[in-house]
Structure 1
Amino acid sequence: MTKITEKLTTRTLERLARNLADGDEAWDADLAGYHVRAGKRGLSLRVSYYNSVGKRRVLTLGRYGDLTAAQGRNDAREALGVIAQGGDPRALLEKAREDAEHRERQTLRAYLSGPYTAFQNRAKDGKGTLRRIEKDFTDWLDRPMSSLDRAAVERWQADQEAVDKPRSFATLKRSYDALQGLLAHAVERRVISEHPLLRVKLQKPALTEEELAEQGAERRYLEPEEVDALFAGLEAYQEQRRAERRNSRQHGRSYLPDLDHAIYVDHVNPWILLMYFTGFRPGDLFGLRWEHTNLTFKTVRKVIEKSAHKRPEPQTFPLSGAATKVLKAWHRQQGEPKSGLVFPSPVNGRRLSQTAMQRPWATVRKLGGLPEGLQLYALRHNFASQLVMAGADLLAVSRLMAHSSIETTIKFYAHLSPDHTRDLVEAFARKAPGGDVGEAEERGVV
């Protein structure tokens, strides 16, 4: 095979790329050891040399096209400079690759306990962030950071939501954001080459039936005739169930309890009445236990389920005389239990499902002649609205509604407050000369 030697310029490389046979080489006339080798994928720019122990080595600089002729020549000069000083450029390159691979294999635990701990120790709540990542991503601690992917995140979120007491989406997102911060820090420090979860987001869960009802329900109060219709519907529901029971007992099912003398035919009437008189969310009524109630002091003390992740301590709510009367009657009817759910499922005794009141409410609404679109959640809005219109302090209403902040109360109910500001400016104006304007004069009547 004839050895080709000529200066490897752009023109030369273009010609060699067309004509040099696979496996053949062409050597540069100026730089000893710098050459190209033809292959199926084009020309490889290479440097041939002998290391310190006399072993021939070949360093591949790259492929022509990825590198220009000028870049190849410059890289060859740098490699030959390392060789001239007794170094081995290929060994250095291999070491750099090994270091990069080692960094890519660095586990979440190693980075969390090492560089990221040093970084977070300077932050205000850095220790809390470190604890959150370690606690919430325990199963990932021994995985290389670069191996994390979308599938892992989706499995993690599904597992977190499948536990008996799933945490809220906001809580999961705080933990995930903390992990995202760690990975971004690792990229910035060039420990990993790229952020493996850069465009991976948590999936927002579907709204529960209660949340859908809350969003879909118009925040309005009940008109007086609607309140009358509500109570008429509840009474009609009771009578309908009693009639159904009498019919069943007369047709071979005499073993069923007589409902004619029962105060409540089932849980529906006291459940709806309690929501009307307290404004409790459906979830808190489903989870209400006799241990939460004090019928002597007329209070309910329980953790509010919707905000339990932010405020895990129980809150105390006063009960009106009407609400207490409902609970006492239901308590007697249930055999005066000291513990257990106030409204257990009549089927299995466990907690009612989130949709358990949809059908009964539709029946009550129809029997009472209430608007078809009136949501059960409107009873909660009515409770707050009526209090505000009666002049109740917004802070007190916020507490009774168990809102996470008074801003929620202000946002939805402040417009219903009596306009005391007009009384104030009128009182001020009356103190000025001629400020006491009579009603007839104000209307323009002389």
Structure 2
Amino acid sequence: MYYPYAIEEPDISEVSGFGPDSDIDIYDHQDLQQTYSIHSISQQISQISESEDEEEEEEDVIDQSRIFNLAEVKVFLDEVICPICCHIIKSPKICKECDQSFCGKCIDKWFQKSPNQQCPCCRVGLNYKNNYHYNQSIMDDKVPKVLLKLLSKLFLTCKYQQDGCEEIITYDFREKHENHYCQYQEQVCENIGCFETMFRKDLEDHQLECKYGRVQCKYCSKDQLRMDIELHLQECDCRPILCEWCKLKQQAIDFDDHVEQCEFKDILCIYCQKKYKRYDMKYHTPIYCLKNLYQNSLEQIQQKDQKILELQKQVEQFKSNKLMEQSDLNQSTNEMLSEKYKQDFEEEVEEVIEEDIQIEESDSKEQQPEPSDYSEEQQPEPGDQENQDEQKNKQNQQQSEQQICDDENEFIKFYNNMQNKQDIFINERLKEEDLIQKMKKVCQVINNLK
């Protein structure tokens, strides 16, 4: 049952010196004003803290509206209701005197705030000692089994029903469900640096994607932040790197040492200028190296001999081509000259024939004046025309001779150049032959030493 007892406040008029008939004016002294202002501030702070505690308590209470089987438990509902908060009893305590049950938190706060330090129902207490802990001892933590049995018959809805929880739970399993199993209880991500809140049912999915979560590196097995794992995989000392020579994977921390010792790496021989695998360099002795050098020198000499032969063929070909061009030029020049002479001779014959015809016509027409387009002074003389033709022929002949001389000079220069190149190749060949002879001697000395 509920007993609405009001909390008795102390009367300030009973305090000595502060009654209505008192002669003391409390506002006459500045110190008293400051004292009361500080006291009012402390009261406001205490009121704020009390309001926050009350809000927390309201969230934590078991309201009667949460009873699912209300029709079944309506008979004994008054026995499981706290008379202080009017909600279902939590952590019950019972008075030894009147056997009234209360919520554990409700009765503790009652003794803290009540000036009389008495049970709210039976008013039993030890006022003369004014001892809170002693008065509280009238409450017994040993709850009768009957009350516990009545409470166990209650079926409640979850306090997170408004968020979506549809579970119906017993009174005894209520705390475990709401604190550990309810999927609609708000949870804060446990990862350091992440402050996101979500339902318990979404926490597992969030943990798989949270950038502040710890992920194990697949190479070094060390934990890294999920947002740093990609960069770590690229720089991890244990990441595998493929060797391009032996095609085996090595850890990054040991890769440089492996490259320096890899048996399949190509090594350049400084003597024969050829590359061999590192495992072959063990058998690449100085004698074998000299043998390779000797063979390489022979091959180079053969290549240069072949090049000399090709150059000689080119020179001979150029000579033959030049002679053929010269003969063709002479033949064409002679043909041009003979043709020119023939043409000049025909022109002279035609002129003579025309003169004879003109003489005959003049004899037949002596009385008539001879028509003429120009005077005798203006007519060209036959001797002058022949001189001009001879001069032209001479000029053409001189030009052709000059061209022939220029071609001969160019050919001589080219021939001298080719001859110089041939001499250079011959000198190089002689040097190489000397080197080969020296190498043969060295090989003989080495064989003798063996």
The TM-score with structure 2 as length reference comes to 0.21
Structure in which a larger fraction of residues adopt helix: 2
TM (norm. structure 1) is 0.21
**Higher normalized contact order (CA 8 Å, seq sep 6+, divided by chain length):** 1
- Which has more radius of gyration? 2
